[in-house]
Structure 1
Amino acid sequence: MSRSGRSPLLLAGLLATAGVAHFAAPRSFDATIPRALPGSPRAWTYGSGVAELALAAGLALPRTRKAAALASAAFFVGVFPANVKMALDWRDRPTPLKAAAFGRLPLQVPLVLWARSVANGTEGRS
C-alpha cells in the first residue's frame, strides 16, 4: 500500500486510539473540558470519544472518507480550547508535563492540515 493509501488509515488509527482512551481513562480527559460548556465533563469526554471513533470509522471507508476527513479537521479545531485549558491548568506542573501540555497546542495545525489533505486526496504527494 502506498504512503497516500496508508495516510487515511493512519489518521483513522490515531482517532480510534484517542477515542478508546476517552473510555479507558476518562478522568484525565474530564479535566480538560472547559467549564463554560454545559453539562458534566464526563458527558463531553464520552461524547468526544464517540465522535473520534465515528470519525475513525468514516476515514477507514473510502466511500465516507472525504466527509469524515473534513469533519475530522473541524473536530481538531473544535477541541483546541480543551488543549488550551490543559496547558493553562498544567503551567505549574513539573517541566516535562508542562512541556507536553504546551507542545500539544501547535500540533493541532498539522492534524488539521493532515485531515484536509486526506479530504482532498493529496496526502503523501510532493
Structure 2
Amino acid sequence: MRSRISLYIMAAIYVAAGINHFINPEIYIGIMPPWLPFQTELVYISGGVEVAGGLLLLPAASRNIGAWIIIGLLLAVFPANIQMAINYYATKHPMLWLALLRLPLQFVLVWWAWKFTK
C-alpha cells in the first residue's frame, strides 16, 4: 500500500510540474543554461515529457518505461538546476538555499523513480 501511495504521489508531482511548464514557461526559461538553443521549445518538450512520464507510471504495463523516462529527464534537466543555483548566487537571491538543496535532491528523485523500474 505504501508503494502505491508513493507511486501516485510521484505521478501527480510530475504531471503537475509538467503542466506548469506550459502555464509558466518563463520560470523555466529563466533557469536554462545560456548555451542551450531553442530554450522555449525545450521547456515545452521537457514539460510534455514530464507529463508523459508521470502518466506512464500509473499503468503497471508502462510503469518501467515511465520511471526510466523520468530518470532520463531528471538527468537532462540537472544543468538547469545548476544554472539556477549560479543565477541565485550571482543575484544574492534569498532562495539560494533552496536552489542548493535542489541539487542533491535530484539524486533522491532519481532513486525514487528507479524504485519503479523493477
Whether TM-score is above 0.5 comes out as yes
SS at match of 1:106: helix
Cross-structure match for 2:79: 81
How far is 1:111 from its partner? 0.2
Q: In the TM superposition, what whole-angstrom CA distance separates every residue of 1:46-95 from its partner, at most 9, and x where no partner exists?
A: 11111101101101121100111112112111110010011001103445
Instruction: Describe the SS at the equivalent of 1:36.
Output: coil
Does the CA contact (< 8 Å) of 2:18 and 2:51 recur in 1? yes
- The residue number in structure 2 matching 1:22 is 21
Equivalent residue number for residue 47 of structure 1: 45
Using the size of structure 1 for normalisation, the TM-score is: 0.87
Give the AA of the match of 2:9. Answer: L
Match of residue 100 from structure 2: 102
Percentage identity across paired residues of the two chains: 32
Which residue matches 1:5?
4
Q: Comparing both chains, which one has the higher relative contact order based on Cα–Cα distances under 8 Å and sequence gaps of 6 or more? A: 1
Structure 2-normalised TM-score?
0.92
Matched letter for residue 10 of structure 1: I
Asked whether the 8 Å contact 1:33–1:44 carries over to 2, the reply is no
Change in Cα spacing, 1:95 to 1:29, as seen in structure 2 (3 Å) is: closer
Moved over 3 A (4+): 92-96
**Are the aligned partners of 1:18 and 1:52 in contact in 2 as well (CA < 8 Å)?**
yes
- Decide whether the 8 Å contact of 2:49 with 2:69 is kept in 1: no
- Aligned-residue Cα RMSD (Å) equals 1.3
